[in-house]
Structure 1
């Protein structure tokens, strides 16, 4: 089947869908299971209407080729179709268990015109994979509109969360690197995925076993959810495992205050923040002039990584000045301290953009 035909029919479908409120049937890749070199693919169809808008063609493709499903049974508005790599296919199809992209394309007869839609899943070491490769005994299952590794495959039945969950735990820090105590957050991508921090900012939450990347987190302020910007949240979860990951908020939890540019109590601030690797950082130290030396101890500014590795230090005096960022500094989140000897007078967080 030519790609040009597919793109053309997709455009026609989009036009007709905008003028026709009747829903067309659609098909999702519901579960994938490998065993002894064979694969089984579970397709789930929804809103089927074989009387008026019958599904007349189903094609499967991987990075290795394309095949057509020669025999399939659609009964009722929704159901499951099981496909095996050598059964009822026009030609055998190889799906790489280490990682691949799988595309399903189906044709719907709309009064003599065949309209095509498609759906794609990527996994394993394939670029833009949604989930890592399944290990022996595992499947990849569609759960809550997300793909997840599953230790309890349910081929031939609708999926559930049994065997798909792992535990994400860590500490939520505010824009001043202080633990956020007794607040409720959620990842909007996961229905009902709420977690409440303890009095020292720690959290633990059950999540699906997949590759998760997000720059969004939601803070629950009854009865509403407010979106906040954190540092990148990235983890790879396996079923029944634990991943430790701390979350750093780049916004204030006070509505209307954003940006971690001002440190505590207004004693010390630096800007612009976030910054780029090419810029210098301006600072202001709001202390009396006689505090240049406190009991013989110089004021200094230091920059540390989140892991407490010092990458910059310089003596300063009250007033305004410039910090020239070290040439080797990488994009990320850094702690900037104003010190008097060993005492930290003020602290803030510096974000270096890519």
Structure 2
């Protein structure tokens, strides 16, 4: 049957990240630095809390928004750790940050609505918007992957978008939002009729002393939606628990999409996350300190190889330039996989702004990273 799949779905592809990860399966001897998945174990107290929830038969539906005590704890965590204020009634637990994003886009977007999305950026933003019939308008980032504010303001005036996606700490670049950048973004957006979607899934892995977010401004909170979660924070990617924060006028719509999509987030995982917020923050801090060591090691290794690269200040990705090799990012990564037995994600998987770069995830052990840099050096000498 021709046309059985919607044109919107046909207009997108499987994520370039997963596409390249899947290729690695054909090269069992290859080292993969493709996935954004911490190699740390879920903290034992979280596992015990999940088992305890099963034994206590806490396996029924929760409220659509999630268990109230967890939403209260998230509210406290955001306020105390990041100076971000949302009450428990303004928080909804989701099936990972991914469902959170889709529920937000599904609430906002009608056919033809324009959404500003950075490039390079996590590919799900563009795909979700296209599935829903929206129009993607990319905004440029500078060479250090901060926002080009002059061009952004010009785009907003010209295109009149319904929403803008802001993503810091960034996948794939590891960039963060500085105080100056946050304030500049606020000054551009505060008087505009535009919804701000701030993806802060890597907030717990920001390496600087102070954390800055567009969600910290009280006077624009009515048009800010924060999406975050526990996958990276507690190394529980497969347990699928995220959350959305939004003022009541926005949450009233979001909860409808969330309800008809999934009803509620997994009950037992919610109890695990509650234990995590109460008693496992030291483990998060330890994980962050280890990522900083790995970041420093990989950054020095890439610089020693002569690559142009910015020092990441959050998440666990580094995004070196490969423009000097005059190879498209996909060609470079294909050859690195076949000839060098090292798998990395081509920059074009993150949009047009990622061409000429590649993403390396340093969420792997130091031993893996050491061997990977040796293989990368040998491959670069070949070409």
Give the TM-score normalised by the residue count of structure 1.
0.26
Larger-gyration structure (1/2)? 1
Task: Give the structure with the larger helix fraction.
Answer: 2
The structure, 1 or 2, with the larger RCO (C-alpha pairs under 8 Å, 6+ apart) is 2
Structure 1 or 2: more strand by fraction:
1
Q: TM-score, normalised by structure 2?
A: 0.24
